[in-house]
Amino acid sequence: MTSEDRRDFIRSLPLADIHRHFDGSIRPATLWELSEKYYSAVPGLDYEQFRHYLQWDESQDSTLLDYLDKFHVPLQYTQFYDNIRRISYELAEDAYLDGVRLLELRINPLIHRRAGLTTRQVLAATRKGLDTFSAQHPDFQAGMIVIAMRNHGGNMARILLREVIGEKDEYHDGVGVVGFDIAGHEAPFPPVLFAEAYELAGLMGLKKTAHAGESEGPERIWEALDNLGPDRIGHGTSAGDDPELIKRLALDGIYLEVCLSSNVQTGAVASLKDHPLPRFLEAGVKVALCTDNPTVSSTTLAREYELAMETFGFSEADVRDLARMSCRGTFLAEGCRAWGPQD
């Protein structure tokens, strides 16, 4: 297949992205417009220089912490209801134009409260943007996953969960909260610190995922499985180094949310060809191919599928199966509409 053939085929598929972060997916042009509104632009910077603070730069970025630094600038503009609503709508629009028909958007409400919004107001603004777009495009599904940051600790994770109980999808006609996650720097904050929070999330009826095994070894994934009881693991890249863990993931039906470009940029893998994605699939591990942060990684979901075809020699049938599997990993109560009933 030529590159154009691959792109045409991928564009024909209804895709699902179940690991995409709100603040890592904002249009640079929108952030630049807001910077001009609030600050008359950033002194000494033009638009192209401004983008440097939002997107991965191979010439000087090399670690997960470098990657996480890209989220600092957007936070200046995501403290206001109307901005969050607008950005959420644009995120849905960008995803839809990329072929995404099911989107689970991850957001940590606490970091968007510096100008006085409450947690529920942050989620209400996000829901409003997603609901407005969904009403215009009935073939589009969306849900929110609430993130607790590791560095905020287990107590704050439990407080956050209590604040969002009224935002669950079952209490809203449109988009609502469907899941819970922890994210951030892994090394100092082992999963066991959040065991009580995950127990509470389960009691609340939320599905559970957890970032693990991205910057740390497979032991962090074992700890997450044993202490948190997740339905899915965010990234889970280092599981490729542990055959017994791969067997455990396959046996328990735990989904891995794989983000190829992001995993290379953060150093989770040395290169695309070293990514364990093919090994996961061959072993029967359920996988969802996702973007993580399209703006930071300068990617799209269609591009991630194209990379999988180019790097691993995936056939059209392989990609169709992966796209279907990705959609069926959703936390949405109504399941995956785009691919029809489960076989």
Please state, as a whole number, how many other Cβ atoms lie within 10 Å of the Cβ of residue 342. Answer: 8
Least confident of 65-69, 111-115, 236-240: 65-69
Residues 124-136 pLDDT 10s: 999 999 999 999 9
- The answer on pLDDT for 37 being more than 90 is no
Give a yes or no: residue 41 inside a domain: yes
Average pLDDT, the chain: 95
**Is pLDDT at 41 greater than 60 in this prediction?**
no
Q: What is the rounded radius of gyration, in angstroms, for the C-alpha atoms of the chain?
A: 19
For the CA atoms of 312, 316, 318, 319, the dihedral, rounded to the nearest 10 degrees, stands at: 80
In this structure, what CATH number is given to the domain that contains residue 319? 3.20.20.140
Catalytic position from the list 104, 167, 186, 214: 214
| Number of domains forming the structure of the chain | 1
d(CA 177, CA 87): 18
In a domain, 92, yes or no: yes
From the CB of residue 50, how many other CB atoms can be counted at a distance below 10 Å? 18
The number of angstroms, rounded, from the C-alpha of 164 to the middle of its chain's C-alpha atoms is 19
| Residue 338 maps to a domain | no
pLDDT for res 259:
98
Residue ranges making up the domain that contains 241: 3-328
Say if 337 falls within a structural domain: no
Examine the residue annotation and report whether 199 is marked as an active-site residue of this protein: no
pLDDT digits (tens, 9 = 90+) for 291-309: 999 999 999 999 999 999 9
Kindly state whether residue 128 falls inside one of the protein's structural domains.
Answer: yes
pLDDT exceeds 70 at position 40:
no
pLDDT per residue as tens digits for the range 137-159:
999 999 999 999 999 999 999 99
pLDDT score for 113: 97
Mean pLDDT across 222-227: 98
223/57 Cα distance (integer angstroms): 32
Q: Taking the model in full, what pTM does it have?
A: 0.96
Residues near 327 by beta carbon (within 8 Å), at least 6 away in sequence = 14, 15, 16, 101, 102, 336, 338, 339
Q: How confident is the model at residue 331 (pLDDT cuts 50, 70, 90)?
A: very high
Tell whether 274 is covered by a domain.
Answer: yes
- 243-289 pLDDT, tens per residue? 999 999 999 999 999 999 999 999 999 999 999 999 999 999 999 99
Q: Is position 335 within any domain?
A: no
**HSE (side-chain half, CA atoms, 13 Å) at 81:** 9
Whether 281 is covered by a domain: the verdict is yes
- Predicted pLDDT of residue 342: 81
